[in-house]
Structure 1
Amino acid sequence: MTETDPVTAAPSGKGLDARLVVRRGSFRLDVELSAAPGDVVALLGPNGAGKTTALRALAGLTPLSEGGRLWLDGVRLDRTPPESRPVGVVFQDYLLFPHLSALDNIAFGPRCRGVPKAEARTQAAAWLERMGLAEFAGTRPRRLSGGQAQRVAVARALATRPRLLLLDEPLAALDARTRLDVRAQLRHHLADFEAVAVLVTHDPLDAMVLADRLVVVEDGRVVQEGGPSDIARGPRTDYIAQLVGLNLYRGEAEGHTVRLEAGPAITTTERLDGPVFVAFPPGAVTLHRDRPSGSSARNLWQCRVAGLETHGDQIRVDLTGELPLAADLTTVATAELGLRPGSSVWATVKAAQTHAYPA
């Protein structure tokens, strides 16, 4: 191999440089990840996209296939056994040792790295203090709440001073109220973490709050990456649009008019030419039982109600017809319109509430 071979040539600088290639039957994961120390990267994607496979590959629990590489701080890791990697992992169900106290769970990592027992327990006590759990030092996992167990699991992972922290759906096991509090605490701890952190989640709010950069994976490949606000403003697949709560369409722009690949035209405020995406939030959609005559909206489509469901404090209306879309209405508005599956309605959206951008 030559010095420029991507598998053997060490990257310059610190941080993560990886191409995660894994083949399993007909499925192929091929995801490139890079991050500097202090970065928090979130892997997002639908079930079966390859998120957990990517995390397992980073941890060394799943071997890379030909063409893959994994470098951390200039050191090649893909040939290093999992137990010898400077990697900390927080699993979805935390996997705390049930027979050990919170203190000894945290001390376990340093002890495995050769730290004497007394010193390891001193370090663990410091982590418990930092996590606000000093009074639970002698408590075993079954007597901890979900939020407390999650903080012990994070402390156990951080106690080994990893250069790469992996978090697999770290908040999924928590109830809604606990999740809110623990998410804020986890964000604080990640902000102080000086190495690379990779978070796997299907929850867009967890990703938006905890991560500096999002990497969206579908069918084993990266379909979009960028900062949370960039992803939210310009989704490029239907999955991402649903994730951030937008109606998304693709078409051909001619000035202020976008002719969709399948469906009617949409009028936008942006003047563009060529292939574009058009997006607008469900809250921008106004529904009418009869064709409106005095509306200033430039976009008008006849639709049929396919379904209704509670969405936060509003009702999400699923519409089919000229343009399939989602609309958010108050409960009162839904009742006044008498909406039910099969109802015929007219949907309007003002051009100023749409956003068009190059595809």
Structure 2
Amino acid sequence: MTDVPLVSASEPPEASKPSEASEASGKGLDTRLVVDRGSFHLDVTLTAAPGDVVALLGPNGAGKTTALRALAGLTPLSTGGHLRLDGADLDRTPPESRPVGVVFQDYLLFPHLTALDNVAFGPRCQGVPKAEARAQAAAWLDRMGLADHAGAKPRRLSGGQAQRVAVARALATHPRLLLLDEPLAALDARTRLDVRAQLRRHLADFEAVAVLVTHDPLDAMVLADRLVVIEDGRVVQDGTPSDIARHPRTDYIAQLVGLNLYKGRAEGHTVHLEAVDDLQAGPAITTITTTEDLTGPVFVAFPPSAVTLYRDRPTGSSARNLWQCEVGGLETHGDQIRADLTGELPLAADLTTVAAAELDLHQGAPVWATVKAAQTHAYPA
């Protein structure tokens, strides 16, 4: 991407969240991003009303960055694509003339300018007189809690401070579309926690459309109102964070939200699993008992914490689901140990360090895995 922020003149944001009438009038984002780049084809439809924060998620190579560049005008759309913002067609509008602000992954602040002049750069490009632009920039820095750093150049700012300057620089142009490219990726864990909370507050006050590209599910869950998951250049799931966390529809999403996910056919409370390449599915004869009474194609999900492991076949367990497995690998997962199991049903199980030691778990160790029906969740595929 270019090292010059995208700025342009635009009307200031409206003072309230959008009504149904405003959405009907064409305000907000309406786009179909079609991009052909050799063997890769992106075809993603996005709509968002003013005030919406949409997160684009997906594995490496899914097309997130291509989608962001297309929204910014840095990558042209192919035949069949369109980009409308507040009812205006931007397909042929050059990037520097679009009402779009961008916060880049590495911020790309001008190293020779102070924090104040970095933020004032956008308004100055819009024709705002220097003194007024600097006054606006000072107000933005004060809002970001950076008034005492107005005279500092980027090299003297911490990562969190530089990130906030970059956000202020993007917002100072009053964009109608704000694009954030992995805005927290360059921060350490402690700074990321603080800046994430601050960014959430600023996005809550932003009254145009914001699109966030991230690989971090926590960033997406905390910052976005809606998640759009892309795989292989296509949207595979679109919904609120809670909907997607509860009803993942691909293995990537299940891993993202920390669930074991399987696909099969339900006959009442019994789900017969299918062997599907892109899902964690075992042999067709494997079944899972659920509390839901369903018929037809379904997904079944449960968290690794719902799995209980035994070295010998349990005799007194009340769990309705029991599978013979083998430890394929062990790794630290937060303050617990995650065991990746193979066998009758490939799955992940979380247990404490003490439990792992008492079970003498190691790669290749045979185990029995149980899950109570009440801890599974089945839903139509």
1:19 is aligned to 32
1:322 is aligned to 344
Q: Does 1:266 align with 2:279?
A: no
Distance (Å, rounded) in 1 between the aligned partners of 2:91 and 2:331? 46
Distance (Å, rounded) in 2 between the aligned partners of 1:309 and 1:209? 26
**What amino acid sits opposite 1:176 in the alignment?**
A
Q: Does 1:29 align with 2:42?
A: yes
C-alpha distance after superposition, 1:196-238 (max 9, x if no partner):
0000000000000000000000000000010000000000000
**What amino acid sits opposite 1:323 in the alignment?**
L
C-alpha distance after superposition, 1:4-31 (max 9, x if no partner):
xxxxxxx842000000000001110000
Distance (Å, rounded) in 2 between the aligned partners of 1:98 and 1:48? 31
**3-state SS, counterpart of residue 217 of structure 1:** strand
Q: Does 1:57 align with 2:70?
A: yes
1:137-286 pair list within 5 angstroms? 137-262=150-275, 263=283, 264-286=286-308
**What amino acid sits opposite 2:162 in the alignment?**
A
**3-state SS, counterpart of residue 117 of structure 2:** helix
1:307-346 pair list within 5 angstroms? 307-346=329-368
2:59 is aligned to 46
Question: How far did residue 251 of structure 1 move?
Answer: 0.2
1:54-133 pair list within 5 angstroms? 54-133=67-146
**3-state SS, counterpart of residue 224 of structure 1:** strand
TM-score (norm 1): 0.97
- How much identity, in percent, do the aligned residues show? 87
Distance (Å, rounded) in 2 between the aligned partners of 1:18 and 1:248? 31
Distance (Å, rounded) in 1 between the aligned partners of 2:51 and 2:25? 17
Q: How many residues align?
A: 349
Give the aligned CA root-mean-square deviation in angstroms: 0.6
TM-score (norm 2): 0.91
Question: How far did residue 78 of structure 1 move?
Answer: 1.1
1:4 is aligned to none
Distance (Å, rounded) in 1 between the aligned partners of 2:111 and 2:362? 51
Distance (Å, rounded) in 2 between the aligned partners of 1:215 and 1:78? 22
Distance (Å, rounded) in 2 between the aligned partners of 1:336 and 1:188? 45
C-alpha distance after superposition, 1:46-78 (max 9, x if no partner):
000000100000000000000000000000001
1:8 is aligned to none
Question: How far did residue 315 of structure 1 move?
Answer: 0.4
What runs of 5+ residues in structure 1 fail to find an aligned partner? 1-10
Distance (Å, rounded) in 2 between the aligned partners of 1:221 and 1:143? 41
**What amino acid sits opposite 1:320 in the alignment?**
T
Distance (Å, rounded) in 2 between the aligned partners of 1:284 and 1:193? 39
C-alpha distance after superposition, 1:287-343 (max 9, x if no partner):
000000111000000000010000011001000000000000000000000000010
Distance (Å, rounded) in 2 between the aligned partners of 1:279 and 1:326? 12
